[in-house]
Amino acid sequence: MALTPASELIMRNQAELSGRVLFAHIPDDGSLSQLGQLESPIVLTDDWRSFSSMQHQPKLEPLFQSQVPDIPPVDKIVLFMPKAKEQARYLIAQLLPLLKEGAEFWLVGENNGGIKSADKLLLPFTDKVQKKDKAKKSTLLSMIPVVDKIQAFELEQWQQYWSLDTGLSAEAGASSESALELVSLPGVFSHGRLDEGSELLLQHLPKVRASVGFIPKALDMGCGCGVIGLSLLKQQPELALTACDVSVMAVEATKLSLAHNQLEGEVIASDMWSEVEGRYDLVISNPPFHTGLKTDYVPTEQFIRQAKKHLNRGGELRIVANRFLKYPDLIEQVFGNCERIAETGKFCIWSARVQI
C-alpha cells in the first residue's frame, strides 16, 4: 500500500522520533511498520478497520477509544489532521495533557485537508507554531506547548446535545413523549444536526414486523449519533435494536444517546458486516459514500451485496442515498426487487425485501 503524502512527510523526519511516541488519527497505510526505531508506539485510532489491522502488528499499542486512558507522559505526539476541524480541536485538547513538559507536538496533513490554516488550532497552547517541513502538497507543523495554557480534558465539555421529535422537530428540553435529545461528539457524521438524507428517512420509517419469534429485530448500519435507531425505538419500544458504526466516536455517541433517552440497544464497532451476527427483520441505513476526503462507493456496494444474508425471510433493507448513486440496479440484482419509497430533488429512499 502506498504511503499518503502526510505519512511520507513523517518518514522524512523520522530521525526526530524517539522514546515513547503517541500517534493519533494515523492512516492505515503501513507507515508505522517502517518506523522500526520506535519501541511500542501508542496508536490512537477512531477507525475499527485500522484498529483491527493494527492488532496483528507487533510492537504496537493500538487504542480504539473516544478518549485516551491515563497513561504515563509521552515524549512526542504526532497527530494526523482529521477531516473535521472540530475533531482536530477535540484530539488536540485531549492529547496535550499526555505530553511531557518541553516535548514537541506535531500536526501533519495534506493541504486540501485543512492543514494550511491549522496553525490557528495550535496557537492557543503555545507561543510559536513552526512550519517544520512541507512536500507533495502536505505540511508538518510543530509546537512546544506551554504548560499553563493546557487544561485538563473533560469529555462532557465536547458533547453536543440537539433535539428531535418523531415529528422531526422539538425544542431543547421538550417534554413531549416522542421527543429525543441526541448526543453527538466531534468526528461523528452530521455532528450536532440532522442531515437531509436522514430527515427524509425519518419521515418514512417502516413498522418492523417480526419474522421469527415475537420480538422484531432491527439493525442501524452506520449509526452516527443514533438518530435513526433511536427514532425506531421511540416508534416501537418492543424493538430489539442493534446499532453499529466503524467510528469509535459514533459508537460512543450512540451509547450516550441511548442512555440519555433511557432507551436500550446494543451498540457495536464494525466495519460494515465484519462484527455483525445473526439476522434481522429490518436493516436500515444512510450509508456513506466517502472514505476520508475521497468519494468511495465500494463500502456501500459491499454492504448491499451482503445485506440479504443478514435478513430474515420477509425482512427489509431500507436505505436513503443521493439520487445520482446507481444503487437501485444493484439492489434489484441482489434481492430480485427494489422499490422507491420516497424522493426529493436530492435523495431517494430505496427498499427491498427477502422473498418469503
Query: What is the per-residue pLDDT for 289?
Result: 61
Residue 171 has pLDDT above 60, yes or no: no
- Reading phi first (left if > 0) and then psi (alpha if -120 to 50, else beta), residue 213 is in left
Query: What is the per-residue pLDDT for 182?
Result: 97
Residue 95 has pLDDT above 80, yes or no: yes
Average pLDDT over residues 49-59: 89
CA distance 220 to 253: 14
| Residue pair 230/261 in contact by the 8 Å Cβ criterion | yes
CA distance 195 to 258: 19
Query: What is the per-residue pLDDT for 274?
Result: 95
Q: Confidence band (pLDDT; 50, 70, 90) for 296?
A: low
Residue 166 has pLDDT above 70, yes or no: no
CB atoms within 10 A of CB 94: 19
Q: Which residue has the higher pLDDT, 34 or 319?
A: 319
Distance of CA 124 to the CA centre of its chain: 27
- Structural domains of the chain, with CATH: 5-155 (3.40.50.150), 159-353 (3.40.50.150)
Q: In terms of C-beta density within 10 A (0-12 exposed, 13-18 middle, 19 or more buried), how is residue 153 classed?
A: middle
Q: Confidence band (pLDDT; 50, 70, 90) for 209?
A: very high
CA angle 346, 111, 130 (to 5 degrees): 145
Longest dimension (CA), the chain: 68
Average pLDDT over residues 251-272: 97
| Residue pair 191/254 in contact by the 8 Å Cβ criterion | no
CA distance 204 to 344: 12
Q: Which residue has the higher pLDDT, 34 or 218?
A: 218
Average pLDDT over residues 243-248: 97
Query: What is the per-residue pLDDT for 293?
Result: 44
Q: Confidence band (pLDDT; 50, 70, 90) for 23?
A: very high
Query: What is the per-residue pLDDT for 65?
Result: 95
Query: Which residues have a Cβ under 8 Å from the Cβ of 62 and sit 6 or more positions away?
Result: 43, 45, 50, 51, 54, 55
Distance of CA 21 to the CA centre of its chain: 24
Query: What is the per-residue pLDDT for 192?
Result: 86
Query: What is the per-residue pLDDT for 299?
Result: 82
Q: Residue type for 140, please? A: L
Residue 2 has pLDDT above 50, yes or no: yes
Residue 81 has pLDDT above 90, yes or no: yes
Q: Confidence band (pLDDT; 50, 70, 90) for 177?
A: low
Distance of CA 334 to the CA centre of its chain: 27
Q: What is the percentage of the chain residues whose pLDDT exceeds 90?
A: 79
Query: Which residues have a Cβ under 8 Å from the Cβ of 55 and sit 6 or more positions away?
Result: 62
**Residue (of 280, 287, 221, 205) closest to 254 by Cα position:** 221
Average pLDDT over residues 270-280: 96
Average pLDDT over residues 96-124: 96
Mean pLDDT (the chain) is 91
Identify the weakest region by mean pLDDT among 100-114, 156-170, 238-252, 300-314: 156-170
CA distance 171 to 226: 18
Average pLDDT over residues 51-66: 91
Q: Confidence band (pLDDT; 50, 70, 90) for 40?
A: confident
Residue 186 has pLDDT above 80, yes or no: yes
CA distance 89 to 122: 9
CA angle 32, 34, 40 (to 5 degrees): 50
C-alpha cell at 233: 425505538
Average pLDDT over residues 29-47: 89
Beta strands at 266-269 and 240-245: parallel, antiparallel or unpaired: parallel
pTM over the 0.85 mark: yes
Query: Which residues have a Cβ under 8 Å from the Cβ of 211 and sit 6 or more positions away?
Result: 281, 312, 313, 314, 315
Query: What is the per-residue pLDDT for 122?
Result: 98
